[in-house]
Structure 1
């Protein structure tokens, strides 16, 4: 490679990274603070947003690695999906990425280690919400008071820790959501009864060595026991980052936004 070619390639690479960074700036910064609750979030409004209209809203919950207080890392996975021109034209929606603090967790779950040194997930049946979940619930209630939010088209989705939080939100707000998706998450099987009527699409990599795939399949199986037909997509060769394949599925977002509460 010639010196000139190398320089041009470097410039193009830097320009591309800059454009991507600028795109993420389309997500406005916000926070919710009330009493002891505080949570940061990024929000993407539809193009040509009109506060006199009503829009669907999607809350997206990130994984453990994106926790913090910088109000930035939670955009690492998934944020670019909603910036695509096709999506913005076809599905004018409000997208919210809240950020979980590092000293908390979205879901009410206890951790342990098995004999092989792998993490165990002990999901709780019921129980009080974590500090992050309590703040998240307050933030969502606050959004529901906005006149531009369509109450019949409220959605939630997440990956890993965020998928665990998604299940918890579904049971704590079982009358709120029109549909949800959960990528490589898990929940206590006894909680499934509480969100059995909410359309749900579950994704997981069969080679996941962080969150075992069985944590997703038992939820799907329990829904079938309860007479429901959940959507379950397993990726035979995917490890924990099954969200890459899920986000690439062209049917995900059309399916999600096609669901609407009847009352």
Structure 2
């Protein structure tokens, strides 16, 4: 029995080391602007060639991963882009920025009990301005393919995805907000982006009505939008979204 537990512990430690090694493939970086800083993690393609253009993927985390440890933002979604088959088939520059504690990506109002107010033209938060500065800086540093810039995020990051595209409607060709929301009045401004929206119909933290209203508004302006509303799934619909076999093929098939 003792030898059995030793084997089990060895296996656990083995896979823990693999996960740690994988996570460390994301370089730790800090972007600074006007005496403010934003931590972010950067994953470059295998055999990165500085003279070659690459697609760009930005992933925005949720409220639970805020802070400045430059670690928490990798909790959800980062493993998808570390898979060998993904890195081989879809070489890209992948960025996971981290929003500060007590801040948000998008300017929103919260009334408790899943009640959110989304503004049509809200003032940008400090972290949104830092985020836009980070993107600008990365476009100068790396040869990013401007025809293949993608953004997605979960919960607060899903809201941030809508907001970032609203503020930069010509920048991102495709977006995948997960359990987020926005003001339907912005649909016409963001209609040229291709959308795949995800939500769980049992979500009590951010009710699915917010994604549903955005999908309806985008459909009404003839935007290319797909909606995956998962039955009996709560707020963690990001697990379903990142497990979608067609997510990356869909994303990389879209170009300006």
TM normalised by structure 1 equals: 0.95
Q: Which residue of 1 aligns with 2:97?
A: 98
Stretches of 4+ aligned residues off by more than 6 angstroms:
none
Q: How far does residue 127 in structure 1 lie from its aligned partner after superposition?
A: 2.3
Q: Is the 8 A contact 2:43 2:93 kept in 1?
A: yes
Q: Is the 8 A contact 1:106 1:133 kept in 2?
A: yes
Q: Is the 8 A contact 2:179 2:198 kept in 1?
A: yes
Per-residue CA deviation, residues 80-105 of structure 1 (Å, 9 max, x unaligned), is: 00000110000000000000001210
Q: Which residue of 1 aligns with 2:17?
A: 18
Q: Is the 8 A contact 1:69 1:99 kept in 2?
A: yes
Q: Which residue of 2 aligns with 1:121?
A: 116
Q: Which residue of 2 aligns with 1:57?
A: 56
Q: Which residue of 1 aligns with 2:231?
A: 236
Q: Which residue of 1 aligns with 2:176?
A: 181
SS at match of 1:121: strand
CA distance in 2, matches of 1:81, 1:167: 22
CA distance in 1, matches of 2:50, 2:183: 39
CA distance in 2, matches of 1:152, 1:206: 33
Which stretches in structure 1 are left out of the alignment for 5+ residues? none
Q: Is the 8 A contact 1:37 1:134 kept in 2?
A: no
Q: Is the 8 A contact 2:114 2:207 kept in 1?
A: no
Q: Which residue of 1 aligns with 2:213?
A: 218
Q: Is the 8 A contact 2:219 2:225 kept in 1?
A: yes
Q: Which residue of 2 aligns with 1:257?
A: 252
Q: Aligned-pair RMSD on alpha carbons?
A: 1.0
Which stretches in structure 2 are left out of the alignment for 5+ residues? none
**Among 140, 157, 164, the residue aligned to 1:162:** 157
Per-residue CA deviation, residues 206-228 of structure 1 (Å, 9 max, x unaligned), is: 00010000100101101111123
Q: Is the 8 A contact 2:193 2:223 kept in 1?
A: no
Paired residue total: 256
Q: Is the 8 A contact 1:105 1:130 kept in 2?
A: yes
CA distance in 1, matches of 2:73, 2:232: 26
CA distance in 1, matches of 2:224, 2:39: 35
Q: Is the 8 A contact 2:194 2:223 kept in 1?
A: no
Q: Which residue of 1 aligns with 2:33?
A: 34
Kindly tell me: are residues 66 and 56 of structure 1, through their superposed partners in 2, closer, same or farther at Cα, counting changes over 3 Å?
Answer: same
SS at match of 2:111: strand
SS at match of 2:91: coil
**Among 121, 125, 130, the residue aligned to 1:135:** 130
Q: Is the 8 A contact 1:158 1:165 kept in 2?
A: yes
CA distance in 1, matches of 2:195, 2:114: 26
1:6 correspondence with 2:1: no
SS at match of 2:41: strand
CA distance in 1, matches of 2:4, 2:168: 56
Q: Is the 8 A contact 1:158 1:181 kept in 2?
A: yes
CA distance in 1, matches of 2:33, 2:73: 22
Kindly tell me: are residues 147 and 242 of structure 1, through their superposed partners in 2, closer, same or farther at Cα, counting changes over 3 Å?
Answer: closer
1:150 correspondence with 2:141: no
